[in-house]
Structure 1
Amino acid sequence: MSGTCLIVSSIYDFSVDLVVQELEKRNVDYLRINKENLSQYEININPVKKEFHISGEGVDRKITKVKSIWFRQAVFLRNTPAKALSLEEQLSRSQWSAFLRSLMLFEDSYWMNWPASTYAAESKPYQLMIASEVGFKVPATEVGNSFKNSKILDTKIIVKSLDTVLLRDGDDCLFTYTSNVEASELIKGHINSAPLIVQHYVNQKTDIRVTVIENDIFAVKITTNGAGIDDDWRLTKRERIEYTDIPLPDELLKSCKLFMKRLNLNFGAIDFIESNGEYYFIEINPTGEWGWLSNEKRAIEKYIADALSR
């Protein structure tokens, strides 16, 4: 199938660089658009003829056939700026976000992933519901800003945000991680201002990252000194983390494929935890990072490039 592969990305998305190199090896025509640079181009879409014209920054392209779209930037703005945005900035960000969504007019193209499916899959309560329906074990979970009458507080719990949190406080960037807390902290604390996800804490756990590209599945366990990490493993120093390829039980593999089908995703980064031989679904990220997992034996970029170039 001839045509152009359109990549909607960010200048900081280094995983995309790996895939671009693979597309170039295959002589695949592609166009990468970084969300930070959109206003530096002159862009025009004809929604009836399904044509895409872009010029500026050394690019002058009229694309009449979009073969595939790698939709890496589902959310245009997540952080809270240090200062109030001007009216022009507010208008620009909101309208470019709408523009990226309008790429759905190329509905006949191969998508990784279809935007509407991405938005749905980013909802953690929704993905937990589907996970349970396809047969995954799911830790007891509640979502909200009040847990004073909840039985989940009778167990050891973890707390995490409902969506990715990236805040800016002056010159500091603030990011939240999954945290172990005492139930009394939720009862006494002031949590009314924002909803939280509260889950039963699974003891003696090992984190498992499963990267799915269509029917290809890569599973690794994440350890330090050969042992599981009690807290959020992302808080462990990178040089101390080990990524080891592991086989998954056949039933779990089947459930992963069914899960992806239910969510209508061609790509997903699924997090499980294993405890005493049982696998618990934690979450899926439809635009998840994977560059840190790539190596010669686990060349994820090649599988993504294959899907985009077919």
Structure 2
Amino acid sequence: MILIISQNHEITTTEVIKWLLKMGKSFIRVNEDEVFDIKTKEKRIYIESHRNCFFIDEITSVWYRRGGLNFRHVQYKNESININMNEYQHWLEDYIKKTLESKKHINKESNSDVNKLLVLEQAQKIGLDVPSYFLASNTDDVVLDKTIIKTIGGNPRMENIIKDSSGMMYTTVVRETENEDFFITFFQEKIEKDFEIRSFYLNRKIWSTAIFSQNNEQTKIDFRKYNDKKPTRKVPYDLPKDIEEKVCLLMQSLDLNCGSLDFIKSGDKHYFLEINTVGQFLGPSVTCNYSLEKEIADYL
């Protein structure tokens, strides 16, 4: 039985499931709105939500896409009992999650949020080219128009700042100085690129896509600022073999067997930028005819 941990309406998950259905494989999809009760049956651990139920020893492979396993805590009238039982349940939940992660898997909930600073340090140790970067709480050492600003971790979305809306923090070029100090921020050298590269990694296999974002002012700095009227050109691309070998070493050192990696091609160099373990990959998959959804289904 295949276990898929995802979110409601997550389209990438649905596309992989279509392949599993075609292959006639049994699977369980767990979404973020499910809360499981931990039970025992036949001396085995059995968990049950309003939608799914299964013995954990029946699971043969796990795909952690997004979200996570949530458990209901039993409540007692006596508060001291509650405190003790919550502690005991924590260890039981930990056992369940670690047992599932020990199965054949694609990604893990426990390391799905990678630390960008540690990733960049590790990439440099392995020998990948990384644009120079530094942390600062002011713009005293920033070279204007030649430095970009990015988030330290992940791609946080600002939900509901305005009613029924959301926003994303994009990569931005620093054009002017600030008069006051601010929270410690990630600054990086602005690389003049030939094009960007998005590489999808799965168990030592790599599929790369060249993204010609510099051909449009709207996408020049951050290709995620999509231009629907003039879509960015994307084509299949092969990273040099030595770069692919270093990517494999990097992912193994971080205990990751799947993820999307971003590069910039500039002259004869490929600059590594970051890893997104749960990023979207359907776009490059369709554009380049990679069928990554089938690759994931096959692996599971």
Does residue 223 of the first structure (1) align with residue 212 of the second (2)?
yes
Query: Aligned partners of 1:204, 1:107: CA distance in 2, in Å?
Result: 39
SS in 2 for 1:235: coil
Normalised to the residue count of structure 1, the TM-score between the two structures is: 0.78
Q: Structure 1: how far apart are the matches of 2:44 and 2:67?
A: 21
**Mapping 1:74-223, distance limit 5 Å:** 103-119=97-113, 122-148=114-140, 150=141, 153=143, 156-163=146-153, 164-167=155-158, 168-171=160-163, 172-182=165-175, 184-185=176-177, 187-188=178-179, 190=180, 192=182, 194-223=183-212
Q: Distance in 2 between the 1:117 and 1:251 partners? A: 26
**Segment of structure 1 superposing worse, 211-220 or 136-145:** 136-145
Shift of the 50–195 alpha-carbon distance from structure 1 to 2, 3 Å rule, reads farther
Asked whether the 8 Å contact 1:15–1:291 carries over to 2, the reply is yes
In 1, the alpha carbon distance for the partners of 2:94 and 2:18 equals: 24
Q: What percentage of residue pairs aligned between the two structures are identical?
A: 22
TM-score (norm 2): 0.80
Do 1:74 and 1:118's aligned partners in 2 also have CA atoms closer than 8 Å?
no
Check conservation: 1:51, 1:65, Cα contact below 8 A. Answer: no
Question: What letter matches 1:173 in structure 2?
Answer: S
Distance 1:153 1:224, change over 3 A: closer
The answer (yes or no) to whether the contact 1:104–1:115 under 8 Å persists in 2 is: no
Highest Rg: 1 or 2?
A: 2
Gaps of 5+ in 2: 70-88
Partner of 1:275: 266
**Cα 1:141–1:169 shift into 2, 3 Å:** same
SS of 1:38 mapped into structure 2: coil
Query: 1:50–1:106: 8 Å Cα contact kept in structure 2?
Result: no
What code does the residue aligned with 1:274 have? K
- Higher RCO structure (Cα 8 Å, ≥6 apart): 1
Amino acid across the alignment from 1:157 = T
Contact 1:55 1:61 in 2 (8 A): no
Change beyond 3 A, Cα 1:24–1:123: same
Q: Structure 1 284/249 Cα, relative in aligned 2: closer, same or farther at 3 Å?
A: same
Amino acid across the alignment from 1:38? E
CA change 1:126–1:44 in 2 (3 A) is: same
Deviations 1:171-193 (A, max 9, x none): 131211000112x42x42x552x
Structure 1 position 274, deviation (Å): 0.5
Note if 1:22 corresponds to 2:8: no
Counterpart-to-counterpart distance in 2, 1:45 and 1:220: 46
Q: Secondary structure at the match of 2:249?
A: helix
Q: Deviations over 1:218-250 (max 9, x none)?
A: 111112597895211111314511210011111
2:280, 2:44 → 1: CA distance?
30
Tell me the matched-pair count: 272
Deviation larger for 253-262 or 220-229: 220-229
CA RMSD of aligned residues (A): 2.9
Q: Which runs of 5+ in 1 are unaligned?
A: 77-94
Residue 38 (str. 1) matches residue 30 (str. 2) = no
CA 1:153/1:214 → structure 2, altered by over 3 Å: closer, same or farther?
same
CA distance in 1, matches of 2:264, 2:11: 27
CA deviation map 1:27-82 (0-9, x unaligned): 222111110x214xx53266xx763322424x454453221111122689xxxxxx
Residues 217 and 99 of structure 1, relative CA distance in 2, 3 Å threshold: same
